[in-house]
């Protein structure tokens, strides 16, 4: 037996404070809310359907234990429980705390294919009415006459995806988990150790309870403790950028158009969200990338002064602006785990990969992890295979390695290309935007990629059931 805590001494030097910080990815929402502290209150399970309550020990023979109850871990728990797996979900945070409007101001861009995963988890009935479709995407370099415009009608009637506020996502998860069967939720609950061996996996809670499982999933964010305990190293780096997030009310309707402006300090995104009744098209979520050195001063400005600075970058095409709620800021970095699996252990979401928000793909990639892992486990169950066996886990590793590496490479390259004002690079990228805009077939390919429809998709992302094909 290997005491996983020993692995913390064997981490690579590339894993120092790099991408292991909480991110500002608007599309992730998968902050490290899973298991960072050891002094968490542990009150046993909260009553949510068919789960363990009070101080009784949880079932030591759960099929899957998921550490981290964020958007990725919570969605996976619902899918597996619905498929007949016995699932224990452990999170250091009280789920109810994440429902407060001041908890997290981010909104998530959900690609068309990705929203099918949320629908399969039974969440879309709640989320659909609270979402705003993205029908067009407009990309432009600041001050340039050249731009790239994606019109959804060129590839069909469906939108590119949807914008949803993260608190609405958390509310949907909270309500669904309370009604779920086969699901035990332990939150708030701290974890002090993880043990992995051929006979099974175990989690030791802060109150001394031991939870057994055939497989443990680490979905506890960029600062993942389960990843360190499993001895999985990471590579990554800081971007020297901070993501400033806020919501604005604007005079003119957004028309369901998402805008990405490239400034010298980094991308500036204007993303349509659903406003109040009668003004559904008059609110947008902003993700403003700024240099680390300047971000604290911007955050310290009064609302009026902040709006003045915002207007310089936002422009006046949506009319006058007003802040809605507080502002948030998050350091931006890249992180990639050297592998996705260990014996009886897998990583998913930000614990496996963390990327720049430039393409709004953080949560989408996490939910792709969920779709692939759920399919792999469902197929293994149907065949009577050991869920924690190397053969089963290798299917997940193989299914996610290339996709995740490609997306991290793409977002990193885009950020480096567009976060500067070097004249030759600026000329090249402006000409590139104009060329893609003038080439219909290439533009359609990029549009399908934005929808998440490119590549070999798992069944859930194709709108099929999780059950293995007959």
Read off the pLDDT of residues 78-110 as tens digits, 9 standing for 90 and up. 999 999 999 999 999 988 887 876 777 789 999
- Among candidates 269, 424, 272, 282, which has minimal Cα distance to 359? 269
pLDDT at 41: 32
Q: Which two tokens stand for residue 318?
A: 């949506």
pLDDT at 103: 74
Find residue 258's DSSP bridge partners.
137
Share of the chain above pLDDT 90, in %: 65
The per-type count for the chain, helices as H runs and strands as E runs, is 11, 20
- Among candidates 429, 431, 432, which has minimal Cα distance to 418? 429
The pTM for the full model equals 0.85
Res 123 pLDDT > 80: yes
Structural contact between residues 336 and 234, judged by C-beta atoms closer than 8 angstroms: yes
**Three-state secondary-structure class, residue 452:** coil
pLDDT tens for 167-213 read 999 999 999 999 999 999 999 999 999 999 888 999 999 999 999 99
**Gap between the Cα atoms of 352 and 453, Å rounded:** 22
Where do the structural domains in the chain lie, given as residue ranges?
A: 2-108+122-131+167-237+334-418
Confidence of residue 383 (pLDDT cuts 50, 70, 90): very high
Higher pLDDT, 2 or 273: 273
pLDDT at 126: 94
Half-sphere exposure of 360 (CA within 13 A, CB side): 31
Res 45 pLDDT > 70: no
Confidence of residue 61 (pLDDT cuts 50, 70, 90): confident
Confidence of residue 291 (pLDDT cuts 50, 70, 90): very high
- Among candidates 337, 400, 338, 404, which has minimal Cα distance to 374? 400
pLDDT at 257: 97
Which CATH architecture describes the domain 2-108+122-131+167-237+334-418? Answer: 3-Layer(bba) Sandwich (3.50)
DSSP H/E element including 413: helix 390-418
Using omega within 30 degrees of 0 as the cis cutoff, is the peptide bond preceding 354 cis?
A: no
Q: Mean per-residue pLDDT for 73-79?
A: 98
Higher pLDDT, 40 or 75: 75
Confidence of residue 432 (pLDDT cuts 50, 70, 90): confident
* Residue for token pair 């990583």: 347
């Amino acid at each position: 037996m290997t005491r996983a805590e020993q692995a913390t001494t064997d981490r690579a030097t590339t894993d120092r404070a790099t991408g292991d910080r909480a991110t500002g990815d608007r599309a992730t929402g998968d902050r490290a809310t899973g298991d960072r502290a050891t002094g968490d209150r542990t009150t046993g399970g909260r009553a949510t359907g068919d789960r363990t309550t009070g101080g009784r020990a949880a079932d030591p023979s759960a099929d899957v234990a998921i550490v981290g109850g964020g958007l990725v871990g919570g969605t996976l728990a619902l899918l597996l429980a619905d498929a007949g797996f016995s699932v224990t979900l452990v999170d250091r945070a009280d789920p109810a705390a994440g429902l407060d409007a001041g908890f997290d101001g981010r909104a998530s861009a959900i690609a068309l294919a990705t929203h099918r995963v949320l629908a399969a988890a039974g969440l879309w009935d709640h989320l659909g009415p609270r979402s705003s479709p993205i029908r067009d995407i407009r990309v432009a370099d600041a001050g340039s006459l050249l731009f790239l415009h994606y019109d959804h009608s060129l590839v069909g009637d469906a939108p590119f995806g949807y914008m949803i506020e993260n608190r609405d996502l958390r509310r949907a998860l909270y309500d669904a988990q309370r009604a779920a069967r086969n699901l035990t939720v332990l939150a708030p609950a701290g974890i002090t150790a993880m043990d992995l061996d051929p006979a099974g996996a175990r989690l030791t809670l802060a109150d001394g309870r031991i939870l057994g499982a055939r497989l443990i999933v680490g979905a506890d964010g960029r600062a993942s403790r389960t990843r360190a305990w499993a001895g999985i190293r990471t590579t990554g780096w800081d971007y020297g950028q901070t993501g400033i997030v806020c919501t604005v009310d604007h005079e003119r309707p957004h028309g369901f158009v998402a805008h990405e402006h490239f400034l010298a300090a980094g991308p500036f995104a204007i993303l349509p969200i659903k406003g109040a009744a009668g003004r559904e098209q008059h609110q947008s979520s902003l993700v403003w990338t700024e240099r680390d050195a300047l971000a604290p001063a911007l955050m310290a400005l009064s609302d009026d002064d902040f709006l003045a600075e915002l207007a310089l970058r936002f422009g006046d095409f949506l009319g006058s602006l007003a802040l809605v709620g507080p502002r948030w800021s998050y350091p931006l970095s890249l992180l990639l785990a050297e592998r996705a699996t260990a014996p009886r252990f897998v990583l998913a979401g930000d614990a496996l990969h963390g990327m720049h928000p430039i393409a709004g793909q953080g949560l989408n990639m996490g939910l792709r992890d969920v779709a692939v892992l759920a399919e792999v486990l469902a197929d293994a169950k149907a065949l009577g295979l050991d869920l924690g066996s190397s053969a089963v886990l290798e299917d997940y590793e193989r299914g996610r390695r290339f996709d995740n590496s490609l997306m991290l490479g793409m977002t990193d390259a885009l950020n480096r290309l567009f976060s500067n004002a070097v004249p030759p690079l600026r000329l090249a990228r402006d000409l590139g935007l104009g060329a893609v805009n003038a080439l219909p077939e290439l533009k359609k390919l990029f549009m399908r990629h934005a929808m998440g429809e490119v590549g070999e998709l798992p069944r859930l992302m194709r709108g099929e059931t999780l059950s293995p094909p007959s």
